Structure formats: C-alpha cells, structure tokens
Amino acid sequence: MELVPAPRIPPFELFYREHRDAVLGLLRRRLGAAAAEDAFQETFLRALAAYGRLRHAEHLRSWVLTIASNVAIDTLRRMRPTTEPPDLPYEDARPAYEELGELTNGLPPKERAAVVLRYGYDLTYDQIATALDSSPVAARQAASAGVRRLRGKKER
Amino acid sequence: MTVSTDLDRRFREAAVRAGLLDAGFDVVDSPVGPLLVAATDLGILRISFDADPDRQLDRLAEIAGRRILRAPRAVDPVRRELDEYFERRREVFDLTVDLRGTTPFTVQVLDELARVPYGQTATYGELAARVGRPKAARAIGMIMNHNPIPIVLPCHRIVGANGSLVGYGGGLDRKEQLLRLEGALL
C-alpha cells in the first residue's frame, strides 16, 4: 500500500500568487471594478490572519473564494443603505409578481425568490444576487431550477 | 482577471501595516549582485546571494512561519543600512538578527564573528579559539559557509592562517570585493 503524503500548506507568498487573479475575478463580478479593489485587500488580509491556523492544504482555492464571497456580502450590506431600490415595472393589470407568487408557492425558498424576482419583478441576475446575498451565477441557476420544477409540475 | 501592479503593491503594504506577517522579504540590489533579504519582528532572518526567493521560501517558512510574503516595506531598514554600507557611509550595522533555525553553537560563533571589526580580518583558528574550541577551525569554516546573514554578520572577514581567502558561501570574488570595499585588501 502506498501512502500519499498530504500536500503541505505553501508559504503565503505562493498561495497568494496562485489565487489572487481568481479572487479578483470573483469580486469584480460581484461588486464591480471599483469596490472589488478594497474587497481584494480585505479578502487576503482575512486569509493571512487565518493562514497560520490552517490545518491542511486541500481546497485552498475554495477556501479563499469563500472568504472573498463573504467579503463581497459584507461589502454589499454596507453599500445597500445608499443604493436606490431597483425601479419596478409599473402595470395597470394585476402585477406579474402577484400571479407568480401563487404559481411558485411550493418551490424551495431560494428558487421561488429567484423566479419571482426574475420574472415577476424583471430584475437582472446581478440585482437578484444582491438581493439574495448570492452570486449572479447562483441566482441564474436558482431561477432556472425553479422554472424547470414548475414545468415538471404542469406536465404531471 | 489580472491583479494590477498597484493593487498588488497596496495589498503587500497593508499586510505589513496590519502586522500579520511572520516574515517579509524582497530582493535588494547591491554592488555584489541582487540579494534576497528576509526580515521578521526579531530582526534580519536571511541575506542570500541566491536571490531567487522561490528556492528559499520553504526553508524560511519552516523557521519563521508560513505567513511569509514579498513586502519591500518589511526590509526597508535593512535595505537602508546595506546601501549605506556599500556607499562606505556605514561600518557598523545597527540591525538585530533573527537566528532561529541555527544551533546554539552556531549562535555563539556568529556572535563572536560580529565582533570582528570593519576593515580587519581574523583567521578561522582565531575565531575557533575565541569561542573556546581552538581545534574546531574546520567546524568554524562550515558555519561561515552556511552563514544565514552574510555581510551583516561579516564572515568575509575570516581568512586562512596564511592570509589566503580560502572560501566564501557567495563565491571568492564577492569575498574579495567586500574586503576591498572595507580597505582590508590593497
């Protein structure tokens, strides 16, 4: 039997060089170019503060992207009070979100919120991500999963 | 998505300011070639004529801890004193050294080495005698050869009994260059 030695935790310099571009990419998608810079610093300072306590070298990429994601959420929370609520489309008839509210009753909460915000309020996935403390990709996935589930229900 | 030079520099500075580093390092230009310099809160951890950091990071992390980052600001005091030394404006370094990672005997030898004055030389045998091991000239030679902080700990001032330069971890050319700079060789 061959024992595979556990990968060693690299010196921070190497860890930083390997993941900095991916971290900046995630933060730009979530926050835009300007806010991403401060969040970038914050992310790697948090990682540095915790780095001495790391126990193993696996999943370092997801570890640092999780930190980046949390920093993005904190940043958006701080930004939110100053941002205007998105304009909702005005309609004379019964608003789409009310209809959707009933239709989507029974979907898992995240999918329901994503479907209603996307098709009822016509928000972009970026706006939905902001509203749900999630990423645009996750918001898009939740919305399409919700739609697929609704289709499945109808056909049955 | 590439991190800009400016953003990269700002993070490295912030890391030093936050006091989160076990060690910071940078490559410092000098008349004897580029030097890798690493420093911790305790003092200078390493000066190396092999200026490629990637060959040394693992060893430095073993000694000081893995939170080690290239950070020019962290070695600024060392850079300043080295510059002054090479411009002949400084004969004594006012910097502390971090000798974790060496044995107690090595610390004792390097401590004695640091007392050999600027512009003068001593022999391997003399240094051995000064640490109470008169027959250990060969062991002293090994310690000089592996000196973690050359220039500041002046192993270039240690020569053979007949006055020949014998050897130097950074190559004999550098040893000669340093001794000439100090006026120890004509």
pLDDT tens for residues B148-177?
Answer: 999 999 999 999 998 899 999 999 999 999
ipTM above 0.90, yes or no: yes
**Tell me: the pLDDT tens digits for A128-142?**
676 667 788 888 888
Long-range contacts of B131-134 (CB under 8 A, 24+ apart): B131/B105
- CB distance B119 to B184 below 8 Å: yes
pLDDT of residue A81: 66
- CB distance B156 to B174 below 8 Å: yes
- B158 has which bridge partners? B122
- B26 has which bridge partners? B37
Q: Look at residue A96 and tell me whether its pLDDT is greater than 90.
A: no
- A115 has which bridge partners? none
- CB distance A123 to A86 below 8 Å: yes
**How many of the other CB atoms lie within 10 Å of CB of A86?**
14
Radius of gyration of chain B (CA): 17
Residues of chain B contacting A, Cβ within 8 Å: 1-3, 7-8, 10-11, 14-15, 18, 20-22, 53-54, 57-58, 60-61, 65-70
- Strand, helix or coil for residue A151: helix
**pTM exceeding the 0.95 threshold for the entire prediction:** no
Best interface-test mutation with A: which of B3, B5, B57, B62 has the largest number of A CBs within 10 A?
A: B3
**Tell me: the pLDDT tens digits for B27-86?**
999 999 999 999 999 999 999 999 999 999 999 999 999 999 999 999 999 999 999 999
> Residue B3 is nearest to which of A10, A14, A24, comparing CB atoms?
A24
Best interface-test mutation with A: which of B26, B67, B68, B75 has the largest number of A CBs within 10 A?
A: B67
- B38 has which bridge partners? B25, B46
Two tokens, residue A85: 């609520």
